[in-house]
Amino acid sequence: MLTRDFVAALSKRLAQSPEEAQGLLADAATRKDADEAAAVLLARLEAGQDVALDEVLPWVRDLSVADLLLALLSRAKGKVPDAVAALLADDALDVDRLCLLVAAAALHLDGAKVPAKLKAQVIRLAKRDLPDSAYEVLVAACHLLGDDEVLAARQSLEKWMTAADLKQVTESLALDAESPLDLLPEGEVPLPQLTVKHEGKEPGRNDPCPCGSGQKYKKCHGADGQRSGGGGTRAERLAALCPQLAPKHVQALWLSDLRALDPATLTVESHLAGARRLIGLRRWDDAERWWQAYVPRVAESSRDAAWEELLWHAASDGEDALVERCRAALTSPDAVGKVAELQLSLRKLPPAVATMNLVCGQALAKSHFFEAVDLAYALLQHAPALGVLVGDGLLPKLANRAEAEDLWWAIDVARDGLGLGRVPFLGKGGRPVAARDRSGDRAPSSPATAAPAAPVDSAPYEELEAARRRIIELEGQLSAASQPGRTQAAPEGARRELRSRVDELEGRIREGNEERARLRREVAELSAKLSAPRDEAPEESVEELPEPEGVDGSQARPRGLTLPRFVPRAQEALEALPARVAREVLFRVSDLCSGEAPGWREVKQLQGVAGLFSARVGIHYRVLFRPAPEARELIIEDVVAREAFDTAIRRYK
């Protein structure tokens, strides 16, 4: 059992009889139990014995607690950097595990020169799209490697975290490598606490328990309010709870427990949650087994959509054999949606798409958008919807007014052909705006600085567009009049008049824009003055601390002392944490309750969830909370691991 107590007791045994370890490892290999093998290897490290690299590598993929790789690999004897480079090359692991492997190799090297093979694979991994939880580990690992070529592989590697955050993450990685037992629970990982339901007559106190543990009902689920946790093996007790496990319970199970479950005994929702988690862990063999059991449980009309979901994930990860099996399971080839078909086609990258990608990449790298503009014109002619999207992205980047205006006219014609509304052109920089702000749908940083949108008078824009169209018409007439025997005096005079009118309208629009900008500034200044606290000590404002990147939540810091209030979910999460982590959580909460500015430096306000904030605890956990200044309270909603952060946030949306 992979627990702190078990590993500590085993290390004492192995200190007296080291030869016993080989038999235990052989037994774990026979049963393919990665957690048991990890317990033996950790016990040997705790007993001061060496662990060979070849003894660790077979269990990298199946280990339930991936963070243990930091200790096992960084302290293993052998060519760890070469082994990590090989593991990074085959893409068989989930991204969190891949980033932990880089950190383990960096700790093993301890400042030594980075081998070329490892360097190449780390650079390749750094260029991938990674979730924040994995990327922060990779950033810290790259700084530990200390190689300039690695740090230059991606622009954000040096700037993604503040110096304080980087130091905290680096120290946490080193601590996890030196004290791996702190990552483990003291005893057996508790199963979800659920009431066991039984059909028919209530069993007597001395009758056998319906869960199949073999104990009397009063000694098992009949005791302590019929809570789970009675006798029998862990697999038997987990099987008894399967019909009542919610998706959140399945997502919180260790990998070893998840693989041992029979998905058919779960509810449909929990079945799907478990299958998706296996996909996220890149356990494609287990995920396919769960998916094959899941599809017959959904409505017949939804089965093709279910297979398409698995096909999408398999195609994204390059699992071609699984893609073909998903195709074969569909009722018809047409059942694959357009986006999924595009995903499959783009994996082969046709020549036209490859050239488009090359042109756009060069334009972004060199900030020379001439070829990209030509590409936009070609797309507007042959694929207008795609051309409008590309052209809209280029317009704000064109400083030359004439070029921006020409591209705007081409986009306007394509929008007309697609039956879309017109977007007026604002001269400077070619930045287009419609009735709604097209600059990016960005929310204001805080309600205090949010200025109400000033009304836009559309009449000058409409008149300006009509004048420009008239100029084009007159220029056509002028071209025809320039032929022999024709006169051009009348069109030329009309054109000069319209040019004058265009200049007048542009001046009116420019004055209106300046007036609206002035009003927004005045409203923002007034709102800031009204929202400023009046009883704040003057010396509070002189402290200037660097703020982390992201959505800063420090502006919502309550002034003065608040008291913490843990909701039941947060209490349960706190009790399930290792003692060291729970202690750090309580220290973090006390910093937040003090109301002091340093305690709120790393607080983030979560977008899309009103009033919910997140505070970092090491690199593995986040505290979710809501300030309640009117009640002088800080409501602690939950304490979640970084892997379950996105899942936890969905509960509050």
Beta-sheet pairing, 633-641 with 621-628: antiparallel
What residue type is assigned to position 44 of the chain?
Answer: R
Q: Are residues 292 and 241 in the same domain?
A: yes
pLDDT of residue 180: 87
Residues 340 and 361 in one domain: no
- HSE-up of residue 517 (Cα within 13 Å, Cβ side): 6
Residue 638, domain CATH:
3.30.2310.20
- CB within 8 Å of 251: residues ≥ 6 apart: 273, 274, 277, 644, 647
Residue 296 sits in the same domain as residue 391: no
pLDDT, tens digit, 9 for 90 and up, residues 279-334? 888 888 888 889 989 988 888 888 888 888 888 888 877 777 888 888 788 887 66
Same domain, 22 and 155: yes
Strands 604-605 and 613-617, bridge-based pairing: antiparallel
- pLDDT score recorded for residue 334: 67
Residue with tokens 């002392």: 561
Closest CA to 2 of 189, 176, 179: 189
Query: Domain end: 348, 373, 394, which one?
Result: 348
Q: Is residue 430 part of a domain?
A: no
- Give the pLDDT of residue 261: 83
Least Cα distance to 543 among 587, 599, 592 occurs for: 599
The reply to whether 375 and 333 lie within a common domain is: no
Written as six digits, the tokens of 458 are 């559309």
* pLDDT, position 321: 83
Same domain flag for 40 and 157 = yes
Farthest-apart Cα atoms in the chain, separation: 117
pLDDT of residue 107: 92
pLDDT of residue 637: 92
| Per-residue pLDDT at 228 | 42
Report the pLDDT value the prediction gives residue 106, as an integer from 0 to 100: 92
- Is residue 93 domain-shared with residue 142, that is, in the same domain? yes
* CA distance linking residue 432 with residue 397, whole number of Å: 11
Q: Are 360 and 339 found together in one domain?
A: no
Domain, as residue range, for 146: 4-183
**Residue 15 placed within a domain:** yes
Contact between residue 139 and residue 125 where contact means Cβ atoms under 8 Å apart: no
Q: Give the model confidence (pLDDT) of 377-413 as tens digits.
A: 888 888 888 888 888 888 877 777 777 777 887 888 8
Is 193 inside any structural domain?
A: no
The count of domains in the chain is: 5
Nearest Cα to Cα of residue 73 among 52, 99, 87: 52
Q: Is residue 632 part of a domain?
A: yes
Residue 206 domain flag: no
Helix (H) / strand (E) element for 438: namely none
Low-confidence ranges of the chain (pLDDT < 50): 224-230, 428-456, 483, 485-490, 533-550
User: Which residue shows structure tokens 């749908």?
Assistant: 441
Same domain assignment for residues 255 and 111 = no
Whether 545 maps to a domain, the answer reads no
pLDDT at 493: 64
Domain finish residue from 183, 205, 239:
183
601 SS3 class? coil
The answer to the question of residue 319 being in a domain is: yes
39 with 168, same domain: the answer is yes
Contacts of 191 (CB under 8 A, 6+ apart): 228, 229, 234, 237, 238, 241
Q: Are residues 613 and 644 in the same domain?
A: yes
Tell me the HSE value of 44 on the side-chain side, using a 13 A CA sphere.
22
Amino acid at 530: L
Q: Both 25 and 136 in a single domain?
A: yes
